[in-house]
């Protein structure tokens, strides 16, 4: 993947302003909507079982996130997911906290059985736990696991036949036959809640534009990491509060010049 692909996809996101339908958690709802707006996409949060199928059908992408799940939300996610599948709308799934409780792990499995997921995005522990492997998880944060995230992403992609994104210090984007690593980002992203969830939604915006979900997800991760690096430069040592605000500013400002100068991408086939 070259920097031109990343730039062109970002330009198209801003030009087309895709509608991204989110069924997400109560912690990150506002940050997700503001992050998508800053990027140039159009967010909507809609949860009622009476409307989710209609909303998913007209969206450019559907993002499902189990961060604060309950049975009503899971029902709505499955209804929305099936409608998106029928309409050819890409589905992104963020299995927040899978492995932390049996209910989360079981609900994630149920959603993935009922809905064809196009992109699975989580930390290493979440992806391991939905792939039937053990990896320590502390609430919603990845614990220390011993595995190789590149191999884990490949295996999850192969098993689920979907693009899999494992984020962390390096972001791994895998499909059955390709692997891309993104080395952008900053540890300050771990000090602001919802940065993983927002990335899943940003991947949704890119998937609405680019049908190749590996290129879409890798482009999204690169833009996101570059915005974080720029936000650190602007907010300096101020801390997570200033960083969060500046990160939204920088999501709206990433351009061809930053991408050309700062994208750190490794592509394997
Ligand atoms: P967790 O709950 O384990 O923090 P998450 O769902 O919040 O997981 P992250 O893995 O934190 O997701 O990824 C969110 C963003 O933060 C991604 O863009 C990722 O590249 C970035 N990121 C996470 N850790 C680091 C790090 N150590 N250095 C640079 N960027 C990081
Ligand atoms: N608790 C339930 S959902 C959530 C918390 C803290 C937000 C998790 O967001 P992220 O993006 O995984 O850090
Ligand atoms: Mg994080
Ligand atoms: Mg997360």
For residue range 132-173, list pLDDT tens digits in order. 987 777 777 777 666 799 999 999 999 999 999 999 999 999
Strands 119-123 and 141-142: unpaired
For residue range 187-224, list pLDDT tens digits in order. 999 999 999 999 999 999 999 999 999 999 999 999 99
Query: Which CATH number goes with the domain that contains 142?
Result: 3.40.1190.20
What's the distance, CA 142 to chain centroid?
15
Return the residue matching tokens 């559907």.
62
DSSP secondary structure string for all residues of 113-173: HHS--SEEEEEHHHHHHHTT----EETTEE----S-HHHHHHHHHHHHTSEEEEESSSEEE
Of the candidates 1, 12, 6, which has an alpha carbon nearest to the alpha carbon of residue 208? Answer: 12
Q: Which domain holds residue 255?
A: 3-268
Ligand 1, atom 24, residue with closest C-alpha: 168
For residue range 37-78, list pLDDT tens digits in order. 999 999 999 999 999 999 999 999 999 999 999 999 999 999
The pLDDT value given to residue 206: 98
Ligand 3 centre to CA of 51 (Å) is 31
Ligand 3 centre to CA of 140 (Å) is 9
- Asked whether 140 and 96 are in contact (CB, 8 A), the reply is yes
Q: Is 212 helix (H, G, I), strand (E, B) or coil?
A: coil
Based on the structure, what is the number of domains in the chain? Answer: 1
Return the residue matching tokens 């927002």.
198
Is the per-residue pLDDT at 13 higher than 80?
Answer: yes
Ligand 1, atom 26, residue with closest C-alpha: 169
- The closest ligand to the CA of 124 turns out to be 1
For a mutational test of ligand 1's pocket, the pick from 32, 182, 190, i.e. the residue with the most ligand atoms closer than 8 A to its C-beta, is: 190
Strands 137-138 and 141-142: antiparallel
């Amino acid at each position: 993947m070259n920097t031109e692909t990343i730039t062109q996809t970002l330009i198209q996101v801003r030009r087309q302003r895709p509608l991204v339908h989110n069924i997400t958690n109560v912690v990150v709802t506002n940050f997700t909507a503001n992050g998508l707006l800053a990027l140039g996409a159009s967010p909507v949060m809609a949860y009622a079982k009476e409307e989710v199928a209609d909303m998913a059908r007209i969206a450019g992408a559907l993002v499902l996130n189990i961060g604060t799940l309950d049975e009503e939300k899971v029902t709505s996610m499955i209804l929305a997911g099936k409608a998106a599948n029928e309409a050819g709308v890409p589905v992104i799934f963020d299995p927040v906290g899978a492995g932390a409780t049996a209910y989360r792990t079981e609900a994630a499995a149920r959603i993935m059985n009922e809905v064809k997921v196009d992109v699975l995005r989580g930390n290493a522990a979440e992806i391991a736990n939905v792939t039937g492997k053990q990896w320590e998880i502390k609430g919603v944060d990845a614990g220390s696991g011993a595995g190789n995230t590149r191999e884990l992403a490949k295996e999850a992609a192969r098993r689920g036949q979907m693009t899999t994104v494992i984020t962390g210090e390096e972001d791994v984007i895998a499909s059955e036959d390709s692997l891309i690593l993104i080395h952008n980002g900053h540890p300050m992203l771990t000090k602001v809640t919802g940065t993983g969830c927002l990335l899943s939604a940003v991947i949704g915006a890119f998937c609405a534009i680019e049908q190749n979900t590996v290129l879409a997800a890798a482009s999204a991760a690169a833009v996101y990491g570059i915005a974080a690096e720029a936000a650190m430069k602007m907010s300096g040592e101020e801390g997570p509060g200033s960083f969060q605000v500046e990160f939204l500013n920088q999501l709206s400002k990433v351009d061809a010049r930053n991408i050309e100068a700062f994208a750190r991408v490794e592509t394997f086939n």
